[in-house]
Amino acid sequence: MPIRLLRFSAALLLLAASASAQTPTGQGRLFPPSDLGLLEAPDRHLWQPPDQIMDAMGIADASVVGDIGAGSGWFTIHLARRVGPQGLVYAEDVQQGMINAISRRVQREGLTNVKPVLGVGSNPRLPERSLDAVLIVDAYPEIQDRVTMLANLARALKPQGRIGIVDFKLDGTGPGPPPEERVSPDVVVKDAEKAGLRLIRQEPFLQYQYFLIFGK
């Protein structure tokens, strides 16, 4: 494991341990905006390749997509570049500090196809039947009411739209929070079924994470 990845993993583990307030389902506190730099590791693209993830979701030029729990906007920027000027990215987060950071980043990058959205609890406040794809990357355990969130996201999808959930495996390897703050993919699938979604497939190419794709 590269030294930079070890340092990033250790930093996230320490942060998660200090902020821990999880429930038996693995829910922890929201990631603090003051630690956004931890999400910008230079080797993140190696263990979480954005192009491969977007390809699996069918995200292309002119797509309309949602980035839920967008945080620092790391994935938002990749999405915005993929969908181009004819597409649109809704960068949602429930913390105003994150929205402020995304807005500054979008302006700095000169992007005009990103709309930051301040969500409220498990309501992402996205327009109904308008999105081709939604991604929840490294944020699922932080969601307050996961079934309600997924049901709201399902309403925001176009008929053939997809929801992709990327999060850390339970084995505790690599970067990410400690195992007790992770959510099993089986739990995610059960949540999705309660929200009226069906599992389309599970992508196997991520080393430290699972990647589930759902549709209506």
Arithmetic mean of pLDDT, 39-56: 88
- Nearest one of 118, 45, 57 to 82, comparing CA atoms: 57
Strand partners of residue 137: 166
- Please report, for the chain, the start and end positions of each structural domain, with discontinuous segments joined by +: 3-16+48-215
For residue 56, give both structure tokens: 């699996």
> For residues 121 and 92, is the Cβ–Cβ distance under 8 A?
no
| C-alpha distances in Å from residue 1, one per residue of 86, 129, 173, 174, 190 | 39, 43, 10, 8, 33
Task: Give mean pLDDT, residues 113-118.
Answer: 99
Report d(CA 153, CA 17) in Å as an integer.
30
* C-beta separation of 57 from 162 below 8 A: yes
Q: How far apart are CA 74 and CA 89, in angstroms?
A: 13
CATH number of 3-16+48-215: 3.90.1570.10, 3.30.413.10, 3.40.50.150, 3.30.230.10? 3.40.50.150
Bridge partner list, 199 = 214
Per-residue model confidence (pLDDT) at position 22: 33
pLDDT digits over 56-75, tens only? 999 999 999 999 999 999 99
The string of DSSP codes covering 16-79 is: HHHT----TT---PPPPGGGGGGGG-TTHHHHS-HHHHHHHHT--TT-EEEEET-TTSHHHHHH
Q: What is the mean pLDDT of the chain?
A: 87
Per-residue pLDDT band for 35 (boundaries 50, 70, 90) equals: low
Helix (H) or strand (E) holding 152, with range, is helix 146-156
Burial class of residue 112, CB neighbours in 10 A (0-12, 13-18, 19+): exposed
